[in-house]
């Protein structure tokens, strides 16, 4: 019987499970949807019980598939959405909604914080005060209910272990604004600044330090060790093999994350990607609306899905000057302007639905470029993953606007594979799966003048939607 790691990837809109061998072969996969609700403008919520049930459904379906009858699950690995916050009581029952990473109900409160707090956050975490991150959401939940708060990894570890463990992984903790990424511990100063008591938070462990054993998980035996945990974007970076300067990866999900490794802590746009025998830091920029922008445009045009949108977009050679700036909840990196508002500009009487579809595709690629333009040094290539990378049009557009090669992973479960690889490495296996992986490669078109013109049009459109000075 072949041994396998059960890798669970809990994302914004679905939960996935994959059985992965020590050679990186995927024996079986399954997924289950997760709902989102928006009870008020700027509020984005999920149900903690539904989220857990989606994980259970994905696990059960994966394990009961025909191909798993010859597999022995020797470990569990967990990849999760970041920054979203769950609250629960001492009985292990959730209290209140899950506040999603897109939720901006705390934006006004964040804007009123003194500049000294933002300076402290930058020095201790490498991030900046923003409603996307966890600390303001934790404060909001604790003021209303709950004894414990944590990011999604902490909630799932709690449930996977039969409510026995209250733990979180260091990379996930680094996205809360409360974790000192140089001292590698919760910061007393930051806890006080955000009014989050230490007793409400889980203990932090390195990414491969072990997070208890399974208990009372439907379809899964008790006593299986949870060997490795990573945040989903960090797991994608690990799975893409991005470990050297000049390499970068972009994950195209509901939002997008662009990451490039650095040798040490940088007090601006820095993330702790993972913590094993030593910390691995990365520069990161976060985009609030990328896949969400495509979905919104598809709905606006009366199309059934994003696939239909990109099929329509490819029928025209360009957007003919139409620009979509998808600042539905403001702009993320590098602008960090939460009062910016979305706009569709440059239309004329000859504008068609196809031009608007093409503008939506362009918007995703432009936002990635806005971040890569801030990365020090020379970018040799960009490795891409996430659902939207199935679109050759998007990947070619990305290469054209970057002026660099784009390598799109031909593996839809890259985050699950990344955390599975860390688990197998922790178990003593030699991996290096990224070197064996195939990519779809997109080389940029050579017209640098056209690239500059399109980037200038985009910059002008972004400037027009910003209500506060850049």
Band the pLDDT of 246: cuts 50, 70, 90.
Answer: confident
Q: What is the average per-residue pLDDT within 83-95? A: 90
Given a cut of 90, is residue 50 above it in pLDDT? yes
Given a cut of 60, is residue 339 above it in pLDDT? yes
Given a cut of 60, is residue 66 above it in pLDDT? no
Given a cut of 70, is residue 469 above it in pLDDT? no
Given a cut of 80, is residue 29 above it in pLDDT? yes
Q: What is the pLDDT of residues 174-215, one digit of tens each?
A: 999 999 999 999 999 999 999 999 999 999 999 999 999 999
pLDDT of residue 324: 97
Given a cut of 80, is residue 69 above it in pLDDT? no
Task: Please give the angle made by the CA atoms of 116, 117 and 119, to the nearest 5 degrees.
Answer: 65
Q: What is the average per-residue pLDDT within 298-314? A: 96
- Give the C-alpha separation, 246 to 255, whole Å: 23
Are the beta carbons of 213 and 232 closer than 8 angstroms? no
Q: Using a pLDDT cut of 70, give the percent of the chain over it.
A: 97
Name the residue with higher pLDDT: 314 or 42: 314
Given a cut of 70, is residue 91 above it in pLDDT? yes
Query: How many CB atoms are closer than 10 A to CB 268?
Result: 10
Q: What is the pLDDT of residues 412-467, one digit of tens each?
A: 678 999 999 999 999 998 877 766 777 899 999 878 678 899 999 999 999 999 97
Query: How many CB atoms are closer than 10 A to CB 57?
Result: 18
- Give the C-alpha separation, 68 to 268, whole Å: 45
Beta strands in 198-246 (DSSP E): 203-205, 226-231
Q: What is the pLDDT of residues 376-412, one digit of tens each?
A: 776 777 999 888 899 999 999 999 999 989 999 887 6
Task: Report how far Cα 193 is from the mean position of its chain's Cα atoms.
Answer: 26
- Please name which of 48, 19, 50, 18 lies closest in space to residue 33, comparing C-alpha atoms: 50
- Asked whether the whole model's pTM tops 0.75, one would answer yes
pLDDT of residue 78: 98
pLDDT of residue 206: 98
Please provide the average confidence, as pLDDT, over all residues in the chain. Answer: 92
């Amino acid at each position: 019987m072949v041994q396998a790691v059960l890798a669970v990837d809990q994302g914004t809109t679905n939960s996935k499970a994959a059985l992965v061998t020590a050679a990186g072969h995927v024996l079986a996969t399954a997924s289950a949807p997760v709902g989102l609700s928006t009870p008020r403008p700027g509020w984005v919520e999920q149900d903690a019980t539904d989220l857990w049930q989606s994980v259970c459904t994905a696990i059960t379906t994966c394990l009961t598939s025909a191909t798993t009858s010859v597999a022995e699950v020797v470990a569990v690995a967990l990849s999760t959405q970041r920054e979203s916050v769950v609250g629960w009581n001492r009985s292990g029952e959730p209290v209140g909604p899950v506040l999603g990473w897109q939720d901006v109900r705390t934006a006004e409160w964040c804007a009123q914080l003194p500049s000294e707090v933002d300076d402290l956050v930058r020095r201790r975490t490498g991030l900046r005060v923003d409603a996307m991150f966890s600390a303001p959401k934790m404060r909001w939940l604790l003021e209303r209910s709950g004894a414990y708060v944590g990011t999604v990894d902490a909630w799932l570890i709690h449930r996977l272990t039969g409510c026995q463990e209250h733990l979180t992984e260091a990379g996930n903790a680094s996205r809360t604004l409360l974790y000192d990424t140089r001292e590698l511990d919760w910061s007393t100063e930051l806890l006080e600044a955000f009014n989050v008591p230490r007793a409400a938070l889980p203990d932090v462990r390195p990414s491969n330090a072990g997070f208890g054993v399974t208990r009372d998980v439907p379809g899964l035996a008790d006593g299986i060790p949870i060997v490795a945990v990573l945040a989903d974007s960090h797991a994608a970076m690990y799975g893409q093999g991005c470990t050297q300067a000049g390499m970068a990866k972009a994950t195209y999900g509901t939002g997008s994350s662009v990451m490039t490794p650095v040798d040490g802590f940088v007090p601006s746009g820095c993330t702790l990607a993972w913590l094993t025998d030593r910390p691995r830091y990365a520069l990161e920029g976060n985009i609030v609306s990328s896949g969400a922008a495509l979905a919104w445009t598809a709905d606006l045009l009366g199309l059934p899905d994003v696939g239909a949108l990109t099929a329509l977009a490819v029928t025209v050679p360009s957007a003919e000057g139409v620009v979509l700036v998808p600042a539905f909840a403001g702009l993320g990196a590098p602008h960090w302007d939460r009062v910016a508002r979305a706009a569709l500009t440059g239309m004329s009487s000859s504008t068609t639905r196809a031009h608007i579809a093409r503008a939506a595709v362009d918007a995703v690629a432009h936002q990635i470029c806005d971040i890569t333009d801030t990365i020090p040094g020379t970018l040799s290539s960009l490795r891409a993953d996430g659902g939207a990378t199935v679109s050759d049009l998007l990947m070619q557009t990305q290469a054209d606007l970057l002026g660099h090669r784009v390598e799109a992973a031909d593996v839809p479960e890259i985050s699950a594979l990344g955390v599975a690889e860390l688990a197998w490495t922790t178990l003593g296996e030699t991996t290096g799966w990224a070197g064996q992986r195939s990519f779809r490669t997109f080389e940029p078109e050579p017209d640098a003048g056209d690239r500059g013109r399109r980037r200038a049009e985009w910059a002008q459109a972004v400037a027009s939607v910003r209500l506060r000075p850049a």
